[in-house]
Chain A
């Protein structure tokens, strides 16, 4: 659907060249919600702008449905852009126009007949839940409502791709959640491919199917949400995962690892639904003591890790560990917390 092939974008600034995007290879599949996460300055905003050619690549290719975007004429580019919706952190609505006319704007630009415009705008406002706000102006709306208008406007021309540039970064957590649910609904009902740029890991965790982590213009790690959360390899990825998973072990527990049997049990791929620890306690002659942990949901399956302490005979504990290893990931907790 969207393919980045060795894409580099450099900006020249006072004689020095800066690579905002550096040799990126990525492929976004049709109908998936793909997330790109990175700290500010990582190049993710430039990356998303390369898709609809608001930025032109310095080298490499951006292909949409196999078509090289840098090869198309400007007229063709405009018609392709109508098939790519985009929403923004600060919404970018026309302040002088009503909600209705903001949503109608891309249709008017495309020269759609008035009756069709009215029909489509009302339909899409209904979809985002803003039918009763059609005659309001943007300055009369809350942030969440403005973003709904942004989404409605992006969807007006029935695009096949939706680009989200930090779409929830200016919103409070509650509103973020409702916007993310709306985006999910967009994908499910219209089968639109969604590319999300964010610095918030909970956005990725909430709705993305796959994710790429960017740093200094490069994609340092990419994969399914589950793999990335359960086994983050790059330090930056680990940092992002920690922002939502909070798997850092409290110091009070670390101080005791030398004298006690403390382990980290990581549940992935549905193993959290198995009563592993309870079975261990039943089958072996030992006590299981949960010290700390977190279980959350990733793509509708439970995921998390628990810090547990085993109390009992050494040999019995070793046998129990062998048993657990067959079902879930278990590691001894070292005094440095890893």
Chain B
């Protein structure tokens, strides 16, 4: 067993990332893993709330990097996708630069980048989404994903603004929204495009029911972390993405490879 450390930077009101990611990665064959989090204060998923959260990024990187993780996941998807296009690359680059300046070998991923990486890995062209966000924010996330070259065929916004409440959304409500999606010509379903909305227990059944690959921000994050750690994805009962071994690694987006060179400033 290899012991690997995973650093997480999470919104302070998020309870789901630190639940679902350990559940997933502890089921990975051949991996002994520990998790080390730092929190950015954020309670309301509004543009102002997200902006206030982003200025805490540098502090959080300092705190997590002190633990010497193998890989760090910036785990707030909407904070990045509510920004300008390609914001995830900008933020990943800034975190990578900060780490490299302190000669940290830690790799950097973000849940926003990981979701796109998973869609790319699955060769998805058309996708359907369930999000917990208010409609304007959901629209921004859809635009962001479309700008990255994926067609969003249909989506649902559950319109929950309070982030604590997002963490308590019932699985039945998520599945109900998924069943309403028009899946004509769709290659994959994102059951929760949010690391706070719980969905892990639904993924495997949803894949059966919908007959399509089903991913979430959490499973995509786990996939990206496993790929960063160079471990074949082997997590049972969490969708086909996480049982794909190394089959999908070649086709996954390689943008990360160019920003983690550990350049000494």
Partners in one complex: no
**Which residues of B approach A to under 8 Å, CB–CB?**
none
